[in-house]
Amino acid sequence: MADNGVVAEGRLTDWVSLGVLAAFVPRDAVDDAVAAAGKQARRSDGKLPPHVMVYLVMALALFADDDYEEVAARLTETLVSWGCWDDSWSVPGSGGITQARKRLGYEPVKELFSQVADPVAEELTPGAFLGPWRLMAIDGFEWDAPDTPENAAAFGFAGTGAEDPGRPAFPKVRVVTVSECASHAVVDAAMGGVAGKGAGEQSLARKLYRRLDEDWLLIADRNFFNWADWCTAAGSGAAAVAGQGRSEPAGPEDPPRRVLFLGAGEPEGPRQGPAGAPGSGPRRAGPGRGPGPLRPGGRVRGP
């Protein structure tokens, strides 16, 4: 390895990033996602078949500051060095990659995410568990989207209409995610617009509550709390905790919080590990499970 971190014409960090990607996203899962989305290759001799494009799309997220051709070169050079790629393959131009991305669409990537996005923290990972509960968090954020008529119609502009002369430069995509506190791994997500009915974070979060696992303790800020939604979350078998504003101040700089707990009882069976580990895999609660030992409406003081 040279002093600048280059290994065999590629940065060591590239090898590590792409190696982790290949380890966590096996080819079989990619093929299954492509098939489920109905995006199989139409010809056998194409330079950018769907499974290659899926890996390339993920690599584009890893190397967001690089152009298409450079990311494709990083990916294929790493695979060649591992002996699992034809070294006679040449990188297509950006136009060819763009067309291949359009053919692929979003559906295979969405399907693949649903298959492989799992918590990754292990039993001894600091901050991963509180007693029997795996600590998870729900939160929202926004992304800029390219300023096209389609994106403007689908997502809208923050605070204004599409025809407003003072509107922002780009449409916004609102995203709400459930992620693991210890690893920050995103395990579920819902996306929508920022304008119109049902565009708030609470509306997107409702798509996620029924998909919580029963050994999770979901942490949220007060923006996500309302009783009906929190009972839906508890119905999945998970427990939840949400900030509910502040009660009387304890001092000028350190007022206590009011926190609401809601749960469906202690999870049954062994604690879940990361995908593939003993005890891994979804364990959903049965229908009709309601709040249990974590008292609904309980308020405690905290920092």
1 in any annotated domain = no
Q: What is the pLDDT of residue 82?
A: 61
Domain limit, last residue, from 68, 96, 115: 115
- Per the structure, the complete domain to which residue 208 belongs is given by 120-300
Same domain, 171 and 92: no
Q: Mark which of 67, 95, 115 sits at the end of a domain.
A: 115
Residue 140 lies in a domain: yes
What is the pLDDT, as a whole number, of residue 231?
A: 86
The reply to whether 255 falls in a domain is yes
Q: For residue 84, is it within any domain? A: yes
166 falls within a domain = yes
If asked whether residues 162 and 267 sit together in one domain, one would say yes
* 37 and 138 inside one domain: no
Whether 96 and 148 share a structural domain: no
Q: Is the same domain home to 110 and 127?
A: no
* 65 and 86 share one domain: yes
Kindly state whether residue 139 falls inside one of the protein's structural domains.
yes
- Is residue 57 one of the residues assigned to a domain? yes
78, 143: one domain: no
DSSP notation for the chain: --TTSEETTEEHHHHHHHHHHHHHS-HHHHHHHHHHTT---S-TT-SS-HHHHHHHHHHHHHTTTS-HHHHHHHHHHHHHHTT-S-TT--PPPHHHHHHHHHHH-SHHHHHHHHHH------TT-TTSEETTEEEEEEEEEEEE----HHHHHHH-BTTB-TT-TT--SS-EEEEEEEEETTT--EEEEEEE-SSSTT-SHHHHHHHHHTT--TTEEEEE-GGG--HHHHHHHHHTT-EEEEEEEE-S-SSSS-PPEEEEEE---SPPSSPP-STTSTT-S--PPPTT----SS-BTEEE---
Same domain? 37 vs 104: yes
Same domain, 275 and 137: yes
**Is residue 255 located within the same domain as residue 220?**
yes
Radius of gyration of the chain (CA): 23
Give the per-residue pLDDT at 293. Answer: 39
Confidence (pLDDT) at 58: 92
Given 98, 115, 132, the domain boundary residue is 115
Count of domains in the chain? 2
| Within-domain flag for 292 | yes
Q: Are residues 92 and 125 in the same domain?
A: no
pLDDT number for residue 270: 56
Q: Show the low-confidence residues of the chain (pLDDT under 70).
A: 1-15, 44-45, 80-88, 161-162, 244-303
Q: Are residues 189 and 52 in the same domain?
A: no
Report the pLDDT value the prediction gives residue 218, as an integer from 0 to 100.
Answer: 94
